[in-house]
Chains A and B, each alone.
Chain A
């Protein structure tokens, strides 16, 4: 009896199989939202199975660097935070030059003139607050205000070593206010957690009344009933067009292209609006309720020196972690 039980147990445990065309996407879109978008894509393209490796931009960069080094690149499509990293990859010759039909509907500043990458979403660093703890009147209005003693021990931010959007935000804020701004935040006991969804969850749950996070992650939680809302800071939203690209090493060019086209298409943009409360990059798709369209957000956004973000990545990470983490 026991003998058979062991044998049957082993058989059950080791039985597994399946097969379609698989493409691997490396992305920083949060798991729950990405699962929904992937399902929508696969429903529209039954022959393709989209596999998703989801992590922070920083982790994906390290992973991809190690894969390049070992000559075993697993990703077909890359969809992470911001332009500067794609510029680096382009210079290293790792991206494929692509011309998706759907890209014609994008504004010029949302695509690489040479055709290596295209913005698939617009993500915006904003101030999120817990609506049980604060109201639109009492919540802080600007980034600068967060160094005020009033917000001591109340503020949570993402780590740029993990989140690419945080790299852009930290770079932009350091450029505008100097690193002293972060020293003041540290004095104010601002806490660093891993990524943007972590920040949003902690604000929604009430662990921290305010946090720096991406607009759509907070909005998505808000739509699902969590007590969280956002403020577009008066000293500038940090608006980040988030590009999608295909790796040159991909063996599944055709399927990968279908996914890129889907993300840029009206259907793909609508799916992002409906499933993830994202701001669409196309003007022919309406933004989520109570949300300004991309053009308006970019109009009041903080200026970002992408050249500095690209070249100063190591410096940004090092300064931030020296000041805020240790």
Chain B
């Protein structure tokens, strides 16, 4: 009797398996099957069709190209910056660290909007500046090209490399470097022979994250690439879904599976190969490594850091702010042309704003809450019980996050459009299902980390004293992991509030979201109005982050 493992309430726990089966297993299986289904039979026809059209393999090739170059440039930008703020006596290193992570907080499609304003072919602010300075006709930069796409993508994704490398550099055992220094090695040699090999797995890990995120991104290639005929897999799937009828859905399914294979492949390499290396090479000691005196390089490095902040943060914010005040996009920048009309329009006249705010807040709150309940149950089952299949459950629940949002959305459309008895097409629920499926992994990860720290004896004590399973959960487990739960809730709330990739495929006439509303405005050419909307969204995101920081005492948020 004393040896008895905690018997969990079979009703709740069994329910968890069912919910995950409905949310994740069923739609993804359907997607997989549907990609082979042609005229009622299972064949490779859809894949053949995909490769017959040049546009599709161009899109595949473009996705790969975009992913590879974005990763490369993210490493070139993120890794040296990480080294600069963690290992040198760069002035204001702490402030720079926050500023370098800031682009991570900006929704990528807002970045795309900003850079469309700055580098747009004839009337981008930068092009106009160059024209007026050098008195030239025509334009120098055109953002609607592959290099433009890589540029914007890099600026918003390089923080992945920066964060992982900065973390690795801080946790690195400094004695290795000191040993080399004692033996008389020069700084450059130490960097090359000791530091770089030690952080290489983290660099590669960050690069793979960038790769997976850039091929899964929809906002940037849609707003920047489509006009320049640069299609990638996500935008190609979007255009099939919008104009291809029902054959379009079959082709989109086949493309989705390809997109999924690439991105899951990249993340698997990271999880199974690189993660291990990272843990074996970096010790958990909290010794602060010696910082390098930059000497004469101090000022040049400071200037580089300032330029990076200027390009990644100040210029885009300024551009969006300025555009939001313009009477008309492309108007000369004079006092008479500045107005608050765009704000008045989105706040008081444009009906969709109210709907979008309402829907997005409701969706984000519901998704975060459901994810936390479901995620903690899954984490609990996986960490604290011996139920058969618990590890499979945890793995399955994590799958949708490694899958691009576009793919999850297509799977939801296939499963919940009335073909299998339930019709959620065009409703709030299909969006909620997709959000929960995609983000439940966050909840599982944050709670399982906290749960692992609670010794089983605490729960056993409660059970021996006669408490039910539910009591022990309510009085012992939940209070202990509460900080983790709150943190996880906000980690889901913030990205779902401004979600675009899945929403753009799932929204209906009554379920417009903030991300969709901004995207539609921008796509309709109302650049100054979408800028006002984007400013509003940025304010919400920044205020939200500060609030989260305050509520969680600085544990979550930037």
Which residues in A have some Cβ–Cβ distance to B below 8 Å?
A: 2, 5-6, 9-10, 13-14, 16, 24, 26, 30-32, 35, 38, 51-53, 55, 58-59, 62-63, 65-67, 69-72, 74-75, 161-162, 191-195, 197-202, 204-208, 221, 224-226, 317, 321, 325-326
The answer, among B425, B426, B524, for a CB contact under 8 Å with A195, is B524
> Who on chain A is nearest to B123 by CB?
A206
The answer, among B54, B248, B330, B426, for a CB contact under 8 Å with A326, is B54
With known contacts A70-B423, A206-B122, A208-B122, A326–B231 Cβ distance under 8 A: yes
Minimum C-beta distance from B486 to chain A (A): 8
Query: For the complex, what is the distance from the CA of A32 to the CA of B341, rounded to whole Å?
Result: 13
- Asked whether, in the complex, the Cβ of B525 is within 8 Å of the Cβ of A72, the reply is no
> Who on chain B is nearest to A59 by CB?
B242
Minimum C-beta distance from B61 to chain A (A): 12
> Who on chain A is nearest to B231 by CB?
A326
Against A, the Cβ 8 Å flags (1 = close, 0 = not) of B515-552 are 00000110111110000000000000000000100110
- Asked whether, in the complex, the Cβ of A206 is within 8 Å of the Cβ of B330, the reply is yes
Q: Within B409-460, which residues are at the interface with A (CB < 8 Å)?
A: 417-419, 423, 425-426
Minimum C-beta distance from A146 to chain B (A): 18
Query: For the complex, what is the distance from the CA of A195 to the CA of B526, rounded to whole Å?
Result: 12
B324 adjacent to chain A (CB < 8 Å): no
Q: How many residues of B contact A (CB 8 A)?
A: 54
- Asked whether, in the complex, the Cβ of B525 is within 8 Å of the Cβ of A197, the reply is yes
- Asked whether, in the complex, the Cβ of B524 is within 8 Å of the Cβ of A30, the reply is yes
- Asked whether, in the complex, the Cβ of A69 is within 8 Å of the Cβ of B418, the reply is yes
Contacting residues, chain A, for B239 (C-beta < 8 A):
161
B277 adjacent to chain A (CB < 8 Å): no
- Asked whether, in the complex, the Cβ of A71 is within 8 Å of the Cβ of B361, the reply is no
- Asked whether, in the complex, the Cβ of B425 is within 8 Å of the Cβ of A66, the reply is yes
The answer, among B358, B486, B523, for a CB contact under 8 Å with A198, is B523
The answer, among A75, A198, A224, for a CB contact under 8 Å with B524, is A198
Against A, the Cβ 8 Å flags (1 = close, 0 = not) of B242-268 are 111110100000000000000000000
- Asked whether, in the complex, the Cβ of A207 is within 8 Å of the Cβ of B510, the reply is no
- Asked whether, in the complex, the Cβ of B509 is within 8 Å of the Cβ of A326, the reply is no
Query: For the complex, what is the distance from the CA of A74 to the CA of B510, rounded to whole Å?
Result: 9
Query: For the complex, what is the distance from the CA of A202 to the CA of B489, rounded to whole Å?
Result: 41
Contacting residues, chain B, for A59 (C-beta < 8 A):
242-243
Contacting residues, chain A, for B327 (C-beta < 8 A):
225
Query: For the complex, what is the distance from the CA of A274 to the CA of B429, rounded to whole Å?
Result: 40
Contacting residues, chain A, for B508 (C-beta < 8 A):
53, 63, 74
- Asked whether, in the complex, the Cβ of A199 is within 8 Å of the Cβ of B245, the reply is no
- Asked whether, in the complex, the Cβ of B510 is within 8 Å of the Cβ of A317, the reply is no
With known contacts A26-B509, A35-B349, A226–B328 Cβ distance under 8 A: yes
Minimum C-beta distance from A253 to chain B (A): 19
Query: For the complex, what is the distance from the CA of A192 to the CA of B243, rounded to whole Å?
Result: 15
Query: For the complex, what is the distance from the CA of A321 to the CA of B365, rounded to whole Å?
Result: 41
Minimum C-beta distance from A55 to chain B (A): 8
B471 adjacent to chain A (CB < 8 Å): no
Query: For the complex, what is the distance from the CA of A202 to the CA of B521, rounded to whole Å?
Result: 13
Minimum C-beta distance from B371 to chain A (A): 15
- Asked whether, in the complex, the Cβ of B417 is within 8 Å of the Cβ of A197, the reply is no
Contacting residues, chain B, for A55 (C-beta < 8 A):
520
- Asked whether, in the complex, the Cβ of A66 is within 8 Å of the Cβ of B227, the reply is no
B121 adjacent to chain A (CB < 8 Å): yes
Minimum C-beta distance from B354 to chain A (A): 9
Contacting residues, chain B, for A69 (C-beta < 8 A):
246, 417-418
Query: For the complex, what is the distance from the CA of A191 to the CA of B229, rounded to whole Å?
Result: 8
Q: Within B7-55, which residues are at the interface with A (CB < 8 Å)?
A: 54-55
- Asked whether, in the complex, the Cβ of A5 is within 8 Å of the Cβ of B121, the reply is no
In the assembled complex, 27 residue pairs joining A and B whose CB atoms fall closer than 8 Å, in A order, are A2-B550, A9-B547, A14-B362, A31-B350, A31-B520, A38-B351, A51-B509, A63-B509, A69-B246, A69-B417, A69-B418, A74-B508, A74-B509, A193-B227, A194-B226, A194-B524, A198-B523, A198-B524, A201-B524, A201-B525, A202-B525, A205-B123, A208-B122, A224-B328, A225-B327, A225-B328, A326-B58
